[in-house]
Structure 1
Amino acid sequence: MKANILYGLVISIGIYILIALITFLIKQELNLELIKMVAFGVAIVLFISAFPLYKTLYHGSRVANPTYTVYIPPDEHHQQKLQNEYESSLKKPKSTLGGIFVWAAILIIIFTMLLTVLF
C-alpha cells in the first residue's frame, strides 16, 4: 500500500512537470489555469483506466440475458477443484497497477485543489 502511494506520488508529480513543460513550450508562458484543467482531465483518465470496465460489461450483460440451467447435483471432485483454484488465487500476488493509477489520480486532484485555493 505504501509503495502504491509512493509510485502514485511520483507519477502525479511527473505528470504535473510534463504538463507544465508542454504548456510552456506551446504558450511560451506558464498558464496555471490550463495546467489545472489538463491535470484534472488526466486524473479522470487515470481513474477510468484503473477500473476493469470489461468485467463490468461482461457481468452486466450476463444479468441482462440470464441463462437458466437445470439443477445438477453437487459433485465432490468439482467442489474440491473449485476450492483449490480459489485458494491458489488467494496466494497469487495482486496487480497493483490499478492501485497506483487510483493513487496518482487522487493526488493529482488534491494538487489541483491546492493550486486552485492557493493561486
Structure 2
Amino acid sequence: MRNIFYGLVISIGIYILIGLITFLITREFPLETIKMMAFGVALVLFISSFPLYKTLYHGSRVANPIYTAYNPPDEQHQQKLQTDYESSLKPQSSLGGIFVWTAISIIFFTTLLTVLF
C-alpha cells in the first residue's frame, strides 16, 4: 500500500515538474507536450524498475550452462537456504515497486488527460 501511495505522490510531482519546465521554456502551457513527456518518463521508469542485470546474468547462464559436481547437502547449507527463504517472505518496500506504481499512475493520468482534452 505504501508503494501505491509513493507512486501517486511521485507521479503528481513529475507532472507538476514537467508542467513547470515546459512553462518556463515555452511561456505557454502546451498539454500535448506535457502528455508526451510524461509518457516518456513513464516508459523510462517502467523499464528501470526491472533488474536487467539479473535477466542478463541468468540468461547468459542458460545459454552457457556450467556443470558442477554434486555436493551432498550439509546442515550449514540447509540453514543458509532456510534463512534466505525466510528473509524473502518478509514484505519489503523496494524502489522497483515504487517505480512500477509511478509508471502505472503516470500512464493512467496521461490516458485520462488524452480522453478528456
Using the size of structure 1 for normalisation, the TM-score is 0.88
* CA distance, structure 1, for counterparts of residue 11 and residue 100 of structure 2: 11
- CA, structure 1 residues 14+84, in 2 after alignment: closer, same or farther (shift >3 Å)? closer
1:28 is displaced (CA, Å) by: 0.7
* CA distance, structure 1, for counterparts of residue 77 and residue 8 of structure 2: 45
Alignment correspondent of 2:92: 94
* CA distance, structure 2, for counterparts of residue 88 and residue 113 of structure 1: 38
* CA distance, structure 1, for counterparts of residue 35 and residue 71 of structure 2: 58
Alignment correspondent of 1:12: 11
Amino acid of the structure 2 residue aligned with 1:26: I
- CA, structure 1 residues 21+87, in 2 after alignment: closer, same or farther (shift >3 Å)? same
Alignment correspondent of 1:40: 39
Amino acid of the structure 2 residue aligned with 1:19: I
| 1:46-57 matched pairs, under 5 angstroms | 46-57=45-56
- CA, structure 1 residues 33+88, in 2 after alignment: closer, same or farther (shift >3 Å)? closer
- Aligned to 1:30, the other structure's residue is in SS state coil
- Bigger drift between 32-41 and 63-72 goes to 63-72
Identity %: 79
- CA, structure 1 residues 88+39, in 2 after alignment: closer, same or farther (shift >3 Å)? closer
Alignment correspondent of 1:106: 104
| 1:11-30 matched pairs, under 5 angstroms | 11-30=10-29
* CA distance, structure 2, for counterparts of residue 44 and residue 22 of structure 1: 19
* CA distance, structure 2, for counterparts of residue 86 and residue 21 of structure 1: 46
Amino acid of the structure 2 residue aligned with 1:115: L
1:76 is displaced (CA, Å) by: 4.1
Q: Which runs of 5+ in 2 are unaligned?
A: none
Q: Which runs of 5+ in 1 are unaligned?
A: none
